[in-house]
Amino acid sequence: MYKRMLVGRDCHGSMPLSSLKPWLQAAPAPQPISASTMPFVLAILLSMCVWMIDTFGNEEQRHRFCPPLCTMEKFASYCLTEPGSGSDAASLLTSAKRQGDHYILNGSKAFISGGGESDIYVVMCRTGGPGPKGISCVVVEKGTPGLSFGKKEKKVGWNSQPTRAVIFEDCAVPVASRIGDEGQGFLIAMKGLNGGRISVASCSLGAAHASVILTRDHLNVRKQFGEPLARNQYLQFKLADMATRLVASRLMIRSAAVALQEGREDAVALCSMAKLFATEECFAICSQALQMHGGYGYLKDYAVQQYVRDSRVHQILEVQREAWGNLIPCRDKGNSCHSHPQLP
């Protein structure tokens, strides 16, 4: 039933948060159902925002913000990306000038998941000079004067998830809403993204897993030349290759998750590697699944096309692949790295 609801919401381009709360509250644990569930599983069950507040916030902030977010009475959005700063997050321009016991925010954030729908916005803004040390983290609540939102973006996928610009125009936020110390925002943002990369990779895994199952079932049912496609050896080999890529991605994600959980020195590199590998391999699985469905795979009545559309953006989120060289250290004759996984 939930999957049918998601397909319908994808077509209509909306997903009321009220329709999600009962299902999520009843769920025993996060599970990679499909890419279609990803936008809200990522934003709620694996929320970077809650982790940031819980880890870096003070006692009053944790008691104020975390309980309603954990029970999903409220929702949060993570605001880092700007129109002029994506992968180069340290160059963000949204300013926060201190006036007494308030910061006055001016600027805008782009591509914000849940923008306009969420109740709480964890915002990275510039309280100091240029570069990463001038960035701080503040919480802005919906309804704060000076906070507004752009139009709902029209996306290739993730249509059940609202994405908007978040705009600050002389938006006064109490200094008491700052998470951590002044200048600590970039560190908070980067540490949060490590878990975010595991989440994005895991969501790709869910889409790929669903695509493999759908393809297996389709090959068993669809007949050509007098027999099921499942008896075609070429297609058997293709399905085996998809399953192998799926398992390899799962193992890599789990390895990175363990490293992050244990606080190991190589956690950053492994999280980055897992995200890079899994999002590309799992998208390839989804694309192959659509191909093996033939013309049916291109119809919106069949879920596999949505997995392809929804999972494509995973290769862009949390730093796109072209910028990974700064995050995945390697050894060569001219370079050594201080936080690398065990490389040959």
Give the residue numbers marked as catalytic: 318
Amino acid making up residue 71: T
The rounded distance, in Å, linking the Cα atoms of 133 and 259 is 27
Could you give phi then psi for residue 139, rounded to 5 degrees? -105, 125
Compute the chain's Rg from CA coordinates. 21
Parallel/antiparallel/unpaired status of strands 76-79 and 178-179: unpaired
Does an H or E element contain 170, and which? strand 163-174
Q: Which residues pair with 97 in a beta bridge?
A: 104
Decide: helix, strand or coil at residue 104.
Answer: strand
- Residues contacting residue 318 through CB under 8 Å, at least 6 positions apart: 193, 196, 197, 200, 275
**Residue found under tokens 């390697």:** 330
Q: Note whether 197 and 271 are within 8 A (CB).
A: yes
- Residues contacting residue 277 through CB under 8 Å, at least 6 positions apart: 201, 248, 249, 252
In angstroms, the first-to-last Cα distance of the chain is 48
Helix then strand then coil, % of the chain, to nearest 5: 55, 15, 30
**Phi-psi category of residue 114: left, alpha or beta, with phi > 0 → left and psi -120 to 50 → alpha:** left
Give, as one character, the DSSP assignment of residue 321: G
Amino acid making up residue 311: S
The rounded distance, in Å, linking the Cα atoms of 45 and 191 is 18
Instruction: Using alpha carbons, select from 147, 141, 134 the residue that is nearest to residue 97.
Output: 134
Could you give phi then psi for residue 334, rounded to 5 degrees? -105, -5
